[in-house]
Amino acid sequence: MSKGEETRQAILDEAFSMASCVGVGGLSIGALAERTHMSKSGLFAHFGSKEELQLAVLRESQQRFADIVLRPAFRQPRGLTRLRAIVLNWLDWTREACLPGGCVIMAAAAEFDDQPGPLREEVKNGLLAMRRTLAETIAKAIETGELRPDTDIDQFAFELEGIYQVTQQSRRLLDDPDADRRALIAFDRLVRDNAVLKEKE
């Protein structure tokens, strides 16, 4: 790893945690330079434009998300076990990734949803990929016979996303201590409604 890549990564590390607090749009090169003990121009040279920096932060976020949330969950056996692992890691990932200001990607989604450009596309693709990953995992839980074959996979993923979003909001804005518990209740209900019928107990 050359010196350049090294500092570039160091900048991204700082930018990542900074973006958690002020949003990807709220990043400023001056402030970032200060926190990395660099000159504005020296830092700037690594990216060429602010937008390129923002894109790099988004990509960094997605990679960390994959490392922290998805990869460990995919070591679990396919089916509901794995799906549940994703949900648990997901709910926990802002803590795990040291994101003092919440999930960078979700914040960016709200920020750029009506501002056409590369940033919007990047966020959109990231979220679509997440939906796809969820869908595949759900499909495997059908294969294992845990969920009913007529389960609406995309609907399932859709509702899962909703649970995640409201949990974040409840935790961060409303300071609701029950948010995580509620998220799991909602998840269990979602699973139960799509599970194959067991013997009546």
Partner DNA sequence: GACAATATAGTACGACCGTTCGTATTAGTC
Partner DNA sequence: GACTAATACGAACGGTCGTACTATATTGTC
Amino acid (one-letter) located at 171: R
Q: Which of 12, 18, 43, 106 binds DNA (CB under 7 A)?
A: 43
Q: Is 114 exposed, middle or buried (0-12, 13-18, 19+ CB in 10 A)?
A: exposed
Residue 129, binding choice from DNA, a second copy, none, Cβ under 5 to 8 Å by partner class: none
Residue 104, binding choice from a second copy, DNA, none, Cβ under 5 to 8 Å by partner class: none
Residue 60's H or E segment, with its range, is helix 50-65
Q: Which of 19, 123, 134, 191 binds a second copy (CB under 8 A)?
A: 123
- Residue 23 binds a second copy, judged by CB under 8 A: yes
State the Rg of the chain over Cα.
19
Residue 29, binding choice from a second copy, DNA, none, Cβ under 5 to 8 Å by partner class: DNA
What separation, in Å, do the N-terminal and C-terminal C-alpha atoms of the chain show?
A: 60
What DSSP character marks residue 147?
B
Amino acid (one-letter) located at 175: D
- Residue 16 binds DNA, judged by CB under 7 A: no
Q: Which of 132, 136, 162, 196 binds a second copy (CB under 8 A)?
A: 162
Q: Which of 42, 118, 132, 158 binds a second copy (CB under 8 A)?
A: 158
| Angle (deg, nearest 10), helices 104-112 and 3-22 | 70
Binding site for DNA (CB under 7 A): 2-5, 7, 27-31, 37-46, 48-51
